Amino acid sequence: MELKYLILQFAFLSAGVLACNKKYGTHEGSTFVCECSADSCDTVQDFDDMIPGRHFVVYTSSKWAARMVKQTFSIRSAPQYPGTGVTFTLNKRTKYQEILGFGGSFSDSAGINIVSLSESTRENLMKSYFSAEGLEYNMARVPMASTDFSTREYSYDDIDGDLALDNFALTDEDINYKIPLIHEAIALSSQDIKLFASPWSAPGWMKTNGRMKGGGRLHGEPGGQYYKTWANYFARFLEEYQKQGVSFWSLTLQNEPSAGLVPNYDFQCMYLGPNISREFIKLDLGPTLAEKGFGHLQYMIVDDQRWTLPRWPRLILNDPEVTPYINGIALHWYYDRVTSTRRLRETHDEFPDYFMLNSEACAGVFFFEGDDVILGSWERGEQYSTDIFEDLNNWVGAWVDWNLALDLQGGPNWVGNYVDSPIIVDAEKDVFYKQPMFYHLGHFRFVTLINVFKFVVPGSVRVEMSSGRPTRLQYIAFQRPDGKMVAIFLNKTERTIPIQIFDVSVGFLSMEVSARGIQTYIW
């Protein structure tokens, strides 16, 4: 299998498709990254939307050999691996949730790293995420003021007692990083980018602990002067960004609101529990944004860990005066490994009219994960795709990553909370590295070079696909708006697994899922 992929990659060079410039990591067990510079950055061979009759296209990435390698095979009238392979049966009549999209976040740290590159290298990085040559993200999260992934602790109004927000102003981080990069992303994309905003904390003088960092809540109660000012703070943020030509699709009320219960929390946070959230929306935020011309904007609630489900949505959505303002439920991935997906299913069953969206994820957070940044970590790519499989197979309709890019240390981060990222920047060499995480994301989102056809496009619907017997593969299937089918498989074992997909309308798609590999099938 390794030789096959090397031959295929050589063939790509002759076809004019730029191959991965491999750079191997130094950590034990790590594989390679793809290095991009001003002059070169790997691309993916397009798939023609006119796939020849009775054929299917497969894209493969594997730990040691492949990154988005394309192959075309014939659809068979009978299984190729009878009695040995795993048969997956497609049922297009059983449909689940619509897929809204995929994206990342314009943190200050991402902006600092991207802008540190030369113009040509920076363009290649932005194309990798937002253009038809890359993932073509259609969603992005925008922090309101500072986060831990900033170089300092700041808000948009740090003047003590300024309840009228007379001193509210965007900062250098907005003007020099976030806003220019958002405009670049919009210019590169062939579709609208759904932007949503999230605050990490109110200004320190508005909080009970007197500082953005550390646990605390707003002074007073919903309906009081501090909550009115906080609602106006949201409105001013939206107005100032609108003046800069940036409009938002949605917002979350508070990043990880449960963190505000921890007195000595390491960075910016604020408690905004479900009961407070409900009353804040009803009494302050909803009416204020409607009055200021942002009544079209709907909000995502929770923006915290999966363990908050379904209790937090239940406490917020039990008030009919609140529900008109809300369109979805945002979630973070950090404790997904120890929190059952049953909570996702229960939440959907109870609130089927509200989409669920993963709004933040990053690897290297916990001490047991090893170094903050591990160049070439295939395991962290598997962590990403495993979580996406779990979420999308349990009613989540979108998946948004955290920092678009970080440096070799996993920052900057003003409190030293360094982590990993799908793209790592080496500003001194004017290069960036696409991690395995980037390509795992690509199997759900990659856009081809010529026909601008994504694998799982917005508007795709998850459909039922069942296994004929127990399997260690993770899998999922979608029907796209153009009628094409997409199936994705993840193999975390050390052996190749033969499979066949049975689609009653066309026949059997027979293939081997590579050891430690991820594959996308299109037909």
Give the residue numbers annotated as catalytic, written as ranges.
256, 360
CB atoms within 10 A of CB 267: 21
Q: How far apart are CA 314 and CA 207, in angstroms?
A: 26
C-alpha 158: how far from chain center: 31
Distances (CA, A) of 120 to 23, 38, 266, 373, 420: 20, 5, 37, 25, 24
Q: Using DSSP, state whether 323 is helix, strand or coil.
A: helix
Q: What is the CA radius of gyration of the chain?
A: 23
Q: How far apart are CA 154 and CA 152, in angstroms?
A: 6
Q: How far apart are CA 508 and CA 511, in angstroms?
A: 10
Question: Within 13 A of 356's CA, how many CA atoms are on the CB side?
Answer: 32
Tokens 């038809």 correspond to what residue? 132
Q: How far apart are CA 174 and CA 109, in angstroms?
A: 12
383's CB contacts (< 8 A; 6+ apart) are 363, 437
Backbone angles phi, psi at 303, to 5 degrees: 55, 45
Distances (CA, A) of 479 to 438, 450, 464: 23, 21, 10
Q: Using DSSP, state whether 205 is helix, strand or coil.
A: helix
Q: How far apart are CA 255 and CA 148, in angstroms?
A: 12
Sheet holding 431-434: strands in order across?
A: 22-24, 32-36, 431-434, 423-426, 406-407
Cβ proximity of 438 and 378 under 8 Å: no
Question: How many residues appear in the chain?
Answer: 523
